[in-house]
Amino acid sequence: MSTAEVSGVEPHTGGATTPDSAPTLRMTRMLDLEQLEVELFRGFGVERSPMRVFGGVVAAQSLVAAGRTVPAGRLVHSLHAYFLRPGDPSVPIVYRVDPIRDGGSFTTRRVTAQQHGEAIFTLSASFHTPEDGFTHQLPRLDAPSPEDLPVTPGSMDDADELSRRWYSTLPERHPFEFRFDGELPRLATGRGERVAPRQRFWLRSREPLPDDPLLHRCAATYASDMLLLSSSLGLHGTTLDSRDLQFASLDHAVWFHGPFRADEWLYYDQEGTWAGGGRALCRGRMFNRAGALVVSVVQEGLIRQRPRVE
């Protein structure tokens, strides 16, 4: 039974609504890996960037590969990953799964993503047979509903040209639609202001997804990397696309707390909790419409300043 049937909420019927541009990425295509051998998979490029593959793509596809080797009935509850090298968007990525352990109730898998004979990403994931236990969560969700937020933030009307271009290309870069809760820090940066390192928004897949819980957790893994590192920059008056900033995700951890659908609205609360030594630590929490905390995220990234070349 799908989580939509459990909750009584029907998934949406798809269609991009933000910004006004035709969607170019499909979640189902991205998560459809070719199986080469029992523990060997291949993912095909879905990127339009000439520079590097978005980290969320590699993380999501790695989790697909791991999940396809796990006994039925076990759901991923955590993953820990390291970004080693930039991915080349012009060639496929090969995912090699190492079956570390199959225990009585937990399964562990390690995945290495490779291109050009080198490892570009590693992931360790733990899967667990669902069981009953103590329950509580802190904090509770405190947010407007996505229907109460504009499709296009009004603040974009007065945004700088770089921010407007960044926003207009969101559908080309990510297979999600968004509802932003409040002004994004990058807009304040465009006005020369410094603000708290926090940003919040609703998100959901632009297309309906199959009922397979693994695919929804893989989609959330992709989403967990979206905009997260940028949440650390509001205090520092810069953005990730600044010419004097070098950035990269270094390591990434995700914990899954309960059932959800990635084609229904999830609220992503992001915060840059620390920065120093050329690195930043960011955390995120995803809530479903009912206010349940369903995903927790922590990421450390490189944010290195470098001399501006005019």
Q: Can you give the pTM of this predicted structure?
A: 0.90
Mean pLDDT, the chain, as a whole number? Answer: 89
CA distance 85 to 11: 36
3-state SS of 206-228 is CCCCCCCHHHHHHHHHHHHCCCC
Spot the catalytic one: 249, 263, 269, 270. Answer: 249
Q: Give the pLDDT of residue 308.
A: 62
pLDDT one-digit tens code per residue, 31-56 = 999 999 999 999 985 655 556 899 99
Q: Give the pLDDT of residue 22.
A: 39
Whether residue 153 is predicted with pLDDT greater than 90 in this model: the reply is: no
Spot the catalytic one: 205, 230, 231, 299. Answer: 299
Known catalytic membership, residue 299: yes
Query: The sheet that has 245-256: what strands, in order across it?
Result: 34-37, 40-43, 93-102, 106-115, 118-128, 75-83, 245-256, 293-305, 279-287, 266-276, 198-205, 176-180
Show the tokens assigned to 55.
Answer: 């980290």
CA distance 57 to 43: 9
Q: Give the pLDDT of residue 137.
A: 96
Spot the catalytic one: 181, 225, 263, 269. Answer: 225
Known catalytic membership, residue 2: no
Q: Give the pLDDT of residue 6.
A: 29
The owner of tokens 């120093």 is 276
Average pLDDT of the residues in 169-181: 92
Known catalytic membership, residue 148: no
Among 1-5, 22-26, 158-162, 184-188, where is mean pLDDT lowest? 1-5
Q: How confident is the model at residue 20 (pLDDT cuts 50, 70, 90)?
A: very low
Show the tokens assigned to 106.
Answer: 């937990």
